[in-house]
C-alpha cells in the first residue's frame, strides 16, 4: 500500500503572532533556516518565533515538539514543523501520513466510551473527508480546528484505525466529503435543510436512534431576528457561536419562540451522528452497517 501524506496547518484558529517551541522528553530540537547553519536547542531551552520573521524555518526532533501560543494554548506535535509568516500571522504546519491524521481525528472527535464499531465508522468518515478535501487550505491540506477536523495531541494509532486502514466511502467513484456531528436529536439533516451549498452527494436525512439531547437558549432581540431570517442555517449558527461562545446554539434542530430557542442535538446534524452510531453499535451493527445507514448510496471500499 502506498503512503499518502497530508500537510496540516496547526493552531490557525488562534491567529498566532507569536509561538514558543521547546523540546520534550529530554530530546533536542534541530532548527534549520535556509542558508544558515542548523542550530541545536537542548532540553529545557525554548525558542520564540514571531510574525516579523518571514524566513521559512524547519524545526525537527525525535520526540514530539511542544508548541505554545502565549496566553492561549499549549500542545505537542510530531516534527518536523515548518514555520513562517504569512500576512502578519505565523503559519505552522506539519506533514503526516493520512493514517496518522485519521488517528488524531478519531482520538479527538470520538464520543467518550465509544464502542469499537462506532470508532471504526468515524475512522472511515475522517479518512474519506481528508481524501476528498485535500488542498482546501492552499498549501495545506487541512487545519487542526473544527473548520476541518479537530485534531488533539498525537497518540498511538488505535486498533480501530488500523482495522479500517485504507477504507473509504465513494460516491460517483470519488471519495465522499463525509461529515459528522455529535448528536442529531433523532434525525439527521440534509445539506439543503441547514443552508449549506449543494454537493453531488446530498447527505440524506435519515432516522437515527440517538438519544434526545435537549437544550434551551434565550437570545437577544437582534440575535433572535438573525435566526428568524435564516432558520436552521449552519453558517448563521456558526457566526453567532463565534461571537457568543460555541455552546450558544448547540445545533440546527430547534424551534424559535420569540427570543427563546428550544432545541435538541449537538452539531450541524449532517452525515454521521456519533451518538446514533454508538446506539447502532450497541444493538449489533458493525461499522459497515452504520455507514450504510447514515450514508445511503455510497460504496465502502479500500485503496490498499
pLDDT in tens, the chain (304 residues): 558 888 888 888 788 999 999 888 888 888 888 777 888 888 888 888 898 877 788 988 888 888 999 988 888 888 788 998 888 888 888 888 899 889 888 888 888 788 999 999 999 999 999 999 887 766 777 777 665 556 665 566 788 888 999 999 999 999 999 999 999 999 999 999 999 988 899 999 999 999 888 999 999 999 999 999 999 999 999 999 989 998 999 999 999 999 999 999 999 999 999 999 999 999 999 999 999 999 999 999 997 6
Interval 183-222: pLDDT, tens? 999 999 999 999 998 889 999 999 999 988 899 999 999 9
CB atoms within 10 A of CB 301: 12
- Angstrom CA distances, 276 to 57, 186, 224, 244, 304, stand at 44, 8, 30, 28, 29
> 85: which strand partners?
90
**Helix-strand-coil split of the chain, %, nearest 5:** 25, 30, 45
Global pTM value: 0.88
User: Contact 121/287 with Cβ under 8 angstroms?
Assistant: yes
Q: Round to whole Å and give the CA distance between 87 and 99.
A: 31
Q: Phi-psi category of 26—alpha, beta or left, where left has phi over 0 and alpha has psi -120 to 50? A: left
Q: 118 phi and psi, to 5 degrees?
A: -65, -40
Torsion of CA 2, 159, 201, 304, to 10 degrees: 20
Buried-state track 188-201, b at ≥16 Cβ within 10 A, e below 16:
bbebebbebeeeeb
Amino acid at each position: 500500500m502506498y503512503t499518502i501524506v497530508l500537510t496540516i496547518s496547526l493552531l490557525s484558529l488562534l491567529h498566532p503572532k507569536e509561538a514558543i517551541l521547546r523540546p520534550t522528553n529530554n530530546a533536542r530540537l534541530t532548527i534549520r533556516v535556509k542558508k544558515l547553519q542548523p542550530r541545536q536547542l537542548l532540553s529545557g531551552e525554548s525558542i520564540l518565533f514571531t510574525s516579523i520573521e518571514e524566513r521559512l524555518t524547519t524545526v525537527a526532533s525525535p520526540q514530539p515538539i511542544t508548541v505554545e501560543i502565549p496566553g492561549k494554548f499549549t500542545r505537542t506535535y510530531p516534527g518536523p514543523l515548518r514555520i513562517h509568516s504569512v500576512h502578519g500571522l505565523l503559519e505552522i504546519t506539519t506533514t503526516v501520513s493520512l493514517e496518522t491524521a485519521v488517528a488524531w481525528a478519531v482520538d479527538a472527535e470520538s464520543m467518550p466510551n465509544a464502542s469499537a464499531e462506532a470508532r471504526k465508522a468515524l475512522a472511515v468518515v475522517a479518512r474519506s473527508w481528508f481524501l476528498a478535501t485535500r488542498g482546501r487550505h492552499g498549501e495545506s491540506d487541512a487545519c487542526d480546528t473544527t473548520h476541518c477536523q479537530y485534531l488533539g495531541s498525537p497518540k498511538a494509532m488505535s486498533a480501530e484505525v488500523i482495522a479500517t486502514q485504507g477504507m473509504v466511502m465513494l460516491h460517483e467513484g470519488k471519495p465522499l466529503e463525509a461529515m459528522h456531528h455529535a448528536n442529531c436529536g433523532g434525525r439527521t439533516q440534509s445539506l439543503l435543510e441547514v443552508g449549506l451549498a449543494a454537493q453531488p452527494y446530498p447527505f440524506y436525512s435519515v432516522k437515527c436512534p440517538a438519544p434526545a439531547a435537549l437544550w434551551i437558549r434565550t437570545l437577544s432581540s437582534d440575535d433572535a431576528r438573525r435566526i428568524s431570517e435564516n432558520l436552521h442555517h449552519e453558517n448563521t449558527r456558526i457566526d453567532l457561536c463565534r461571537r457568543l461562545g460555541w455552546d450558544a446554539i448547540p445545533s440546527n434542530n430547534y424551534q424559535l419562540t420569540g427570543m427563546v430557542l428550544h432545541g435538541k442535538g449537538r452539531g450541524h446534524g449532517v452525515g454521521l451522528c456519533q451518538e446514533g452510531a454508538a446506539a447502532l453499535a450497541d444493538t449489533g451493527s458493525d461499522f459497515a452497517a452504520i455507514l450504510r445507514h447514515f450514508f445511503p448510496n455510497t460504496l465502502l471500499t479500500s485503496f490498499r
